[in-house]
């Protein structure tokens, strides 16, 4: 991965951490990783980078959800939208 792409990816993950979600066009994610498709190795790397980021932030375990929607890759920080006791 090129350094400029790694910076963009890290900024993308920080956006997810602080805003709760973010999306990026699938073609851009594929470009960042230098691959031809959004395969399991990309998802694993995203989760590894996410784990490192939340450790740095001191957030403990905060799961990352990954989805492909309308040609975009959407990352969502797992949190409860509504309390269970509602």
pLDDT band at residue 38 under the 50/70/90 scheme: confident
pLDDT band at residue 7 under the 50/70/90 scheme: very high
- Give yes or no for residue 86 having a pLDDT over 60: no
Listed by start position, the domains of the chain span 3-77
Tens of pLDDT, residue by residue over 41-84, are: 999 999 999 999 999 988 878 889 999 999 999 999 876 555 65
Quickly count helices (H) and strands (E) in the chain: 3, 3
CA distances from 78 to 3, 11, 19, 21, 45 (A): 28, 18, 11, 9, 18
- Residues 44 and 81: their CA atoms lie apart, in Å, by 25
pTM: 0.83
- Residues 46 and 59: their CA atoms lie apart, in Å, by 17
In degrees, rounded to 5, the angle at the alpha carbon of residue 36 between the alpha carbons of residues 2 and 50 is 55
pLDDT confidence of residue 84: 58
pLDDT confidence of residue 58: 86
């Amino acid at each position: 991965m090129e350094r400029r792409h790694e910076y963009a990816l890290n900024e993308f993950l920080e956006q997810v951490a602080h805003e709760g979600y973010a999306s990026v066009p699938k073609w851009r994610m594929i470009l960042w990783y230098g691959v031809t498709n959004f395969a399991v190795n990309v998802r694993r790397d995203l989760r590894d980078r996410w784990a490192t980021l939340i450790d740095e932030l001191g957030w403990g375990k905060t799961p990352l959800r990954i989805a492909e929607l309308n040609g975009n890759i959407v990352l969502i920080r797992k949190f409860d939208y509504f309390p269970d006791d509602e």
